[in-house]
Amino acid sequence: MNPQITSTQTGASEAASPTYPVGSDKVQVRNIGVLTSGGDAPGMNAAIRAVVRSALNYGLNVYGIYRGYHGLWRGDIQPLNGRSVSERLQRGGTFLMTARSETFKTPEGVAKGIAMAKVFNLDALVIIGGDGSIRGARDLALMGMPVVCIPGTIDNDVACTDYTIGYDTAMNTAMEAIDKLRDTASSHERCSVIEVMGREAGYIALNVGISCGAEVVLIPEQPHDFNRDVIKRLLECRNRGKTHYIVVTAEGAGSAVDIAYRIEEKTGISARATILGHLQRGGSPSARDRQMASIMGVRAVEILRSGQLNRIVAYKNGDVTDVDLLEGLKMTKTISMDAIRDSLIIAL
Protein backbone atom coordinates (compact mmCIF):
# COMPACT_ATOMS: atom_id res chain seq x y z
CA MET A 1 0.00 0.00 0.00
CA ASN A 2 0.96 3.64 -0.29
CA PRO A 3 0.02 5.57 2.86
CA GLN A 4 0.85 8.81 1.07
CA ILE A 5 -2.25 8.50 -1.12
CA THR A 6 -5.76 9.56 -0.25
CA SER A 7 -8.91 9.25 -2.38
CA THR A 8 -12.09 11.26 -2.17
CA GLN A 9 -15.31 11.31 -4.15
CA THR A 10 -16.70 14.50 -5.60
CA GLY A 11 -19.91 15.91 -4.18
CA ALA A 12 -23.36 14.82 -5.20
CA SER A 13 -24.34 18.35 -6.16
CA GLU A 14 -22.91 17.94 -9.67
CA ALA A 15 -25.16 18.00 -12.71
CA ALA A 16 -27.04 14.77 -13.42
CA SER A 17 -24.64 12.10 -14.60
CA PRO A 18 -25.16 9.92 -17.67
CA THR A 19 -26.56 6.46 -17.06
CA TYR A 20 -26.15 3.06 -18.66
CA PRO A 21 -28.73 1.98 -21.27
CA VAL A 22 -31.71 0.11 -19.86
CA GLY A 23 -31.08 -3.61 -19.86
CA SER A 24 -27.32 -3.40 -20.34
CA ASP A 25 -26.85 -4.81 -16.84
CA LYS A 26 -28.92 -7.92 -17.63
CA VAL A 27 -26.52 -9.51 -20.10
CA GLN A 28 -25.66 -13.17 -19.58
CA VAL A 29 -21.94 -13.36 -20.20
CA ARG A 30 -20.59 -16.33 -22.16
CA ASN A 31 -18.00 -14.70 -24.41
CA ILE A 32 -15.45 -12.26 -23.01
CA GLY A 33 -13.10 -9.99 -24.93
CA VAL A 34 -9.93 -8.73 -23.22
CA LEU A 35 -7.74 -5.84 -24.36
CA THR A 36 -4.91 -3.63 -23.12
CA SER A 37 -4.96 0.07 -23.89
CA GLY A 38 -2.81 3.17 -23.41
CA GLY A 39 0.76 2.93 -22.15
CA ASP A 40 2.01 -0.56 -21.42
CA ALA A 41 2.77 -1.48 -17.81
CA PRO A 42 4.62 -4.46 -16.29
CA GLY A 43 2.05 -6.96 -15.09
CA MET A 44 -0.44 -6.51 -17.92
CA ASN A 45 0.43 -9.98 -19.24
CA ALA A 46 -0.19 -11.43 -15.78
CA ALA A 47 -3.63 -9.79 -15.73
CA ILE A 48 -4.49 -11.14 -19.19
CA ARG A 49 -3.34 -14.59 -18.13
CA ALA A 50 -5.53 -14.49 -15.03
CA VAL A 51 -8.58 -13.33 -17.00
CA VAL A 52 -8.14 -16.08 -19.57
CA ARG A 53 -7.53 -18.95 -17.17
CA SER A 54 -10.19 -17.85 -14.71
CA ALA A 55 -12.77 -17.52 -17.50
CA LEU A 56 -11.89 -20.92 -18.91
CA ASN A 57 -12.19 -22.41 -15.44
CA TYR A 58 -15.81 -21.22 -15.37
CA GLY A 59 -16.59 -22.49 -18.86
CA LEU A 60 -16.49 -19.07 -20.56
CA ASN A 61 -14.94 -18.29 -23.92
CA VAL A 62 -12.20 -15.64 -24.13
CA TYR A 63 -11.09 -13.58 -27.10
CA GLY A 64 -7.95 -11.48 -27.24
CA ILE A 65 -8.39 -8.04 -28.81
CA TYR A 66 -5.05 -6.97 -30.23
CA ARG A 67 -3.84 -3.35 -30.32
CA GLY A 68 -6.35 -1.94 -27.86
CA TYR A 69 -9.37 0.07 -28.98
CA HIS A 70 -7.82 0.42 -32.43
CA GLY A 71 -7.93 -3.35 -32.80
CA LEU A 72 -11.44 -3.51 -31.42
CA TRP A 73 -13.07 -1.47 -34.16
CA ARG A 74 -10.82 -3.08 -36.80
CA GLY A 75 -11.76 -6.60 -35.71
CA ASP A 76 -8.23 -7.66 -34.70
CA ILE A 77 -9.72 -10.33 -32.46
CA GLN A 78 -8.68 -13.95 -31.89
CA PRO A 79 -9.78 -16.71 -29.48
CA LEU A 80 -7.46 -17.43 -26.55
CA ASN A 81 -6.94 -20.63 -24.61
CA GLY A 82 -4.85 -21.74 -21.66
CA ARG A 83 -1.78 -22.25 -23.82
CA SER A 84 -2.15 -18.79 -25.34
CA VAL A 85 -1.05 -17.28 -22.03
CA SER A 86 1.66 -19.77 -21.11
CA GLU A 87 5.05 -18.21 -20.27
CA ARG A 88 3.50 -14.73 -20.16
CA LEU A 89 3.45 -14.17 -16.40
CA GLN A 90 7.07 -13.05 -16.12
CA ARG A 91 7.21 -10.95 -19.27
CA GLY A 92 6.89 -7.17 -19.37
CA GLY A 93 4.78 -5.25 -21.86
CA THR A 94 1.59 -6.76 -23.25
CA PHE A 95 1.46 -9.56 -25.78
CA LEU A 96 -1.94 -8.24 -26.93
CA MET A 97 -0.10 -5.00 -27.78
CA THR A 98 -1.54 -1.53 -27.49
CA ALA A 99 -2.08 1.39 -29.83
CA ARG A 100 -3.57 4.87 -29.88
CA SER A 101 -6.81 5.22 -31.81
CA GLU A 102 -8.03 8.57 -33.07
CA THR A 103 -11.10 6.87 -34.53
CA PHE A 104 -12.19 5.53 -31.15
CA LYS A 105 -12.18 9.05 -29.67
CA THR A 106 -15.36 9.80 -31.63
CA PRO A 107 -18.90 8.48 -30.97
CA GLU A 108 -18.80 6.92 -34.43
CA GLY A 109 -15.60 5.08 -33.52
CA VAL A 110 -17.10 3.77 -30.28
CA ALA A 111 -20.13 2.55 -32.24
CA LYS A 112 -17.80 0.79 -34.68
CA GLY A 113 -16.11 -0.95 -31.75
CA ILE A 114 -19.42 -2.18 -30.37
CA ALA A 115 -20.55 -3.35 -33.80
CA MET A 116 -17.35 -5.36 -34.21
CA ALA A 117 -17.75 -6.86 -30.73
CA LYS A 118 -21.18 -8.08 -31.84
CA VAL A 119 -19.65 -9.65 -34.96
CA PHE A 120 -17.57 -11.83 -32.65
CA ASN A 121 -20.52 -12.38 -30.26
CA LEU A 122 -18.69 -10.74 -27.36
CA ASP A 123 -20.99 -10.24 -24.39
CA ALA A 124 -18.61 -8.10 -22.31
CA LEU A 125 -15.10 -6.65 -22.39
CA VAL A 126 -12.31 -6.65 -19.80
CA ILE A 127 -10.22 -3.53 -20.34
CA ILE A 128 -6.77 -3.18 -18.79
CA GLY A 129 -5.27 0.30 -18.75
CA GLY A 130 -5.04 3.69 -17.10
CA ASP A 131 -7.38 6.62 -16.71
CA GLY A 132 -7.76 7.31 -20.44
CA SER A 133 -8.49 3.66 -21.15
CA ILE A 134 -11.11 3.57 -18.39
CA ARG A 135 -12.78 6.64 -19.90
CA GLY A 136 -12.89 4.79 -23.20
CA ALA A 137 -14.56 1.91 -21.38
CA ARG A 138 -17.11 4.38 -20.01
CA ASP A 139 -17.96 5.44 -23.57
CA LEU A 140 -18.56 1.81 -24.50
CA ALA A 141 -20.71 1.21 -21.41
CA LEU A 142 -22.85 4.28 -22.08
CA MET A 143 -23.59 2.92 -25.54
CA GLY A 144 -24.59 -0.49 -24.20
CA MET A 145 -21.37 -2.56 -24.21
CA PRO A 146 -20.84 -4.10 -20.74
CA VAL A 147 -17.28 -3.69 -19.41
CA VAL A 148 -15.08 -4.39 -16.42
CA CYS A 149 -11.85 -2.40 -16.02
CA ILE A 150 -8.55 -3.41 -14.44
CA PRO A 151 -6.31 -0.42 -13.58
CA GLY A 152 -2.93 -0.81 -15.25
CA THR A 153 -0.53 2.14 -15.43
CA ILE A 154 2.89 2.85 -13.95
CA ASP A 155 1.71 6.33 -12.88
CA ASN A 156 -0.66 4.98 -10.17
CA ASP A 157 -3.02 7.86 -10.99
CA VAL A 158 -6.36 6.04 -11.25
CA ALA A 159 -8.32 7.76 -8.49
CA CYS A 160 -10.58 4.96 -7.29
CA THR A 161 -7.75 2.56 -6.42
CA ASP A 162 -4.76 2.76 -4.10
CA TYR A 163 -2.67 0.70 -6.51
CA THR A 164 -2.36 0.16 -10.25
CA ILE A 165 -0.60 -2.65 -12.08
CA GLY A 166 2.95 -1.72 -13.09
CA TYR A 167 3.55 0.91 -10.41
CA ASP A 168 5.78 -1.23 -8.19
CA THR A 169 7.98 -2.43 -11.04
CA ALA A 170 8.39 1.09 -12.41
CA MET A 171 9.44 2.38 -9.00
CA ASN A 172 11.96 -0.41 -8.56
CA THR A 173 13.37 0.19 -12.04
CA ALA A 174 13.79 3.90 -11.30
CA MET A 175 15.25 3.21 -7.86
CA GLU A 176 17.87 0.82 -9.23
CA ALA A 177 18.86 3.31 -11.92
CA ILE A 178 19.18 6.15 -9.40
CA ASP A 179 21.26 3.99 -7.05
CA LYS A 180 23.72 3.46 -9.91
CA LEU A 181 23.74 7.15 -10.75
CA ARG A 182 24.49 7.98 -7.11
CA ASP A 183 27.63 5.85 -7.34
CA THR A 184 29.04 7.95 -10.15
CA ALA A 185 27.75 11.21 -8.65
CA SER A 186 29.65 10.48 -5.44
CA SER A 187 32.83 9.63 -7.36
CA HIS A 188 32.79 12.96 -9.21
CA GLU A 189 31.16 15.10 -6.48
CA ARG A 190 28.30 15.90 -8.80
CA CYS A 191 24.60 16.55 -8.70
CA SER A 192 22.58 14.01 -10.66
CA VAL A 193 19.19 15.24 -11.87
CA ILE A 194 16.91 12.35 -12.80
CA GLU A 195 13.65 12.79 -14.66
CA VAL A 196 11.07 10.05 -14.11
CA MET A 197 7.69 9.53 -15.72
CA GLY A 198 4.67 11.38 -14.39
CA ARG A 199 3.30 14.13 -16.58
CA GLU A 200 0.42 14.90 -14.22
CA ALA A 201 1.14 12.65 -11.25
CA GLY A 202 4.15 12.61 -8.94
CA TYR A 203 3.74 9.24 -7.23
CA ILE A 204 6.80 7.69 -8.87
CA ALA A 205 8.98 10.74 -8.27
CA LEU A 206 8.00 11.15 -4.62
CA ASN A 207 8.26 7.53 -3.56
CA VAL A 208 11.44 6.86 -5.52
CA GLY A 209 12.91 10.09 -4.16
CA ILE A 210 12.21 8.91 -0.60
CA SER A 211 13.57 5.43 -1.38
CA CYS A 212 16.80 6.83 -2.84
CA GLY A 213 17.38 9.61 -0.33
CA ALA A 214 17.06 12.38 -2.90
CA GLU A 215 17.92 15.85 -1.63
CA VAL A 216 15.25 17.42 -3.85
CA VAL A 217 12.01 15.95 -5.21
CA LEU A 218 9.85 17.92 -7.64
CA ILE A 219 6.29 16.83 -8.47
CA PRO A 220 3.46 18.39 -10.52
CA GLU A 221 1.09 18.48 -7.55
CA GLN A 222 3.37 20.78 -5.55
CA PRO A 223 4.41 24.10 -7.19
CA HIS A 224 8.01 25.00 -6.42
CA ASP A 225 10.20 28.06 -6.23
CA PHE A 226 13.47 27.12 -7.94
CA ASN A 227 15.75 29.28 -5.82
CA ARG A 228 14.15 28.26 -2.53
CA ASP A 229 13.33 24.61 -3.18
CA VAL A 230 16.29 23.61 -5.33
CA ILE A 231 19.22 26.02 -5.16
CA LYS A 232 18.99 26.95 -1.48
CA ARG A 233 18.38 23.35 -0.46
CA LEU A 234 21.40 22.04 -2.36
CA LEU A 235 23.61 24.77 -0.92
CA GLU A 236 22.39 23.95 2.60
CA CYS A 237 23.28 20.31 1.98
CA ARG A 238 26.73 21.32 0.69
CA ASN A 239 27.32 23.52 3.72
CA ARG A 240 26.53 20.54 5.95
CA GLY A 241 29.33 18.60 4.29
CA LYS A 242 27.59 16.74 1.49
CA THR A 243 29.63 16.36 -1.68
CA HIS A 244 27.09 14.78 -4.05
CA TYR A 245 23.37 15.23 -4.54
CA ILE A 246 20.32 13.62 -6.13
CA VAL A 247 17.43 15.61 -7.60
CA VAL A 248 14.39 13.65 -8.77
CA THR A 249 11.81 15.40 -10.93
CA ALA A 250 8.59 14.11 -12.43
CA GLU A 251 8.42 14.99 -16.11
CA GLY A 252 5.46 17.26 -15.42
CA ALA A 253 7.38 19.24 -12.81
CA GLY A 254 10.37 20.22 -14.92
CA SER A 255 12.97 19.13 -17.45
CA ALA A 256 16.03 17.40 -16.02
CA VAL A 257 18.21 19.02 -18.66
CA ASP A 258 17.00 22.52 -17.79
CA ILE A 259 17.23 21.90 -14.05
CA ALA A 260 20.80 20.57 -14.30
CA TYR A 261 21.87 23.57 -16.38
CA ARG A 262 20.39 26.04 -13.92
CA ILE A 263 21.93 24.27 -10.91
CA GLU A 264 25.41 24.38 -12.41
CA GLU A 265 25.00 27.96 -13.58
CA LYS A 266 23.80 29.24 -10.19
CA THR A 267 25.93 27.17 -7.79
CA GLY A 268 28.99 25.98 -9.68
CA ILE A 269 28.12 22.40 -8.66
CA SER A 270 28.76 20.05 -11.57
CA ALA A 271 25.35 18.69 -12.61
CA ARG A 272 24.31 15.96 -15.05
CA ALA A 273 20.83 15.15 -16.34
CA THR A 274 19.41 11.67 -16.92
CA ILE A 275 15.95 11.03 -18.39
CA LEU A 276 14.79 7.50 -17.56
CA GLY A 277 11.85 7.69 -19.98
CA HIS A 278 10.33 4.45 -21.24
CA LEU A 279 12.93 2.38 -19.41
CA GLN A 280 10.47 2.52 -16.51
CA ARG A 281 7.74 0.75 -18.49
CA GLY A 282 9.79 -2.28 -19.44
CA GLY A 283 11.22 -5.28 -17.68
CA SER A 284 9.92 -8.32 -15.90
CA PRO A 285 7.16 -7.36 -13.42
CA SER A 286 7.91 -7.49 -9.72
CA ALA A 287 6.35 -10.09 -7.44
CA ARG A 288 3.88 -7.47 -6.22
CA ASP A 289 2.75 -6.56 -9.72
CA ARG A 290 2.40 -10.21 -10.75
CA GLN A 291 0.37 -10.98 -7.64
CA MET A 292 -1.89 -7.92 -7.84
CA ALA A 293 -2.45 -8.37 -11.59
CA SER A 294 -3.38 -12.01 -11.10
CA ILE A 295 -5.84 -11.31 -8.29
CA MET A 296 -7.41 -8.41 -10.18
CA GLY A 297 -7.78 -10.56 -13.30
CA VAL A 298 -9.63 -13.26 -11.39
CA ARG A 299 -11.80 -10.63 -9.70
CA ALA A 300 -12.76 -9.14 -13.09
CA VAL A 301 -14.11 -12.48 -14.27
CA GLU A 302 -15.94 -13.06 -10.99
CA ILE A 303 -17.62 -9.67 -11.39
CA LEU A 304 -18.82 -10.61 -14.86
CA ARG A 305 -20.15 -13.96 -13.62
CA SER A 306 -22.03 -12.24 -10.80
CA GLY A 307 -23.83 -9.94 -13.23
CA GLN A 308 -22.29 -6.77 -11.77
CA LEU A 309 -21.29 -5.12 -15.02
CA ASN A 310 -19.60 -1.79 -15.71
CA ARG A 311 -17.24 -1.93 -12.76
CA ILE A 312 -13.62 -1.00 -12.01
CA VAL A 313 -11.54 -3.49 -10.05
CA ALA A 314 -9.83 -1.58 -7.23
CA TYR A 315 -7.37 -2.11 -4.41
CA LYS A 316 -8.64 -0.28 -1.33
CA ASN A 317 -7.43 -0.50 2.27
CA GLY A 318 -5.65 -3.78 1.67
CA ASP A 319 -8.47 -5.54 -0.20
CA VAL A 320 -9.23 -6.13 -3.88
CA THR A 321 -12.76 -4.87 -4.44
CA ASP A 322 -14.70 -3.06 -7.18
CA VAL A 323 -16.54 0.21 -7.73
CA ASP A 324 -19.11 1.41 -10.24
CA LEU A 325 -17.44 2.68 -13.41
CA LEU A 326 -19.12 6.09 -13.48
CA GLU A 327 -18.68 6.63 -9.75
CA GLY A 328 -15.02 5.63 -9.92
CA LEU A 329 -14.32 8.21 -12.61
CA LYS A 330 -15.77 10.94 -10.38
CA MET A 331 -13.23 10.28 -7.65
CA THR A 332 -10.02 12.24 -7.13
CA LYS A 333 -6.68 11.26 -5.66
CA THR A 334 -4.06 13.52 -4.12
CA ILE A 335 -0.60 13.17 -2.64
CA SER A 336 -0.49 13.84 1.09
CA MET A 337 1.42 16.95 2.15
CA ASP A 338 2.79 14.86 5.03
CA ALA A 339 4.61 12.63 2.55
CA ILE A 340 6.17 15.66 0.87
CA ARG A 341 7.25 17.01 4.26
CA ASP A 342 8.71 13.65 5.28
CA SER A 343 10.80 13.50 2.10
CA LEU A 344 12.35 16.85 3.00
CA ILE A 345 13.08 15.93 6.61
CA ILE A 346 14.92 12.69 5.95
CA ALA A 347 16.99 13.88 2.98
CA LEU A 348 19.03 16.57 4.78
Q: What is the pLDDT of residues 214-242, one digit of tens each?
A: 999 999 999 999 999 999 999 999 999 99
- pLDDT for residue 22: 61
Domain of 18: which CATH number? 3.40.50.450
Q: Do residue 10 and residue 159 come from a single domain?
A: yes
How crowded is residue 225: how many other Cβ atoms within 10 Å of its Cβ? 9
- pLDDT for residue 23: 60
Task: Determine the average pLDDT of the residues in 189-204.
Answer: 96
Q: Do residue 25 and residue 145 come from a single domain?
A: yes
**Residues 7, 162: contact at Cβ < 8 Å?**
yes
Domain of 174: which CATH number? 3.40.50.460
Within-domain flag for 69: yes
Task: Determine the average pLDDT of the residues in 295-300.
Answer: 98
Residue after which a domain boundary falls, among 282, 297, 318:
282
Task: Determine the average pLDDT of the residues in 153-167.
Answer: 97
- pLDDT for residue 346: 85
Candidate list 131, 139, 155, 162, residue with the active-site label: 155
Q: Do residue 230 and residue 212 come from a single domain?
A: yes
Task: Determine the average pLDDT of the residues in 40-66.
Answer: 98
Q: Do residue 93 and residue 114 come from a single domain?
A: yes
Judge whether 155 counts as a catalytic residue: yes
| Domain enclosing residue 56, as ranges | 5-166+285-332
Within-domain flag for 341: no
Q: Do residue 22 and residue 96 come from a single domain?
A: yes
- pLDDT for residue 24: 62
How far apart (Å, rounded) are the C-alpha atoms in residues 323 and 226?
40
Q: Residue 2: pLDDT band by 50, 70, 90 thresholds?
A: very low
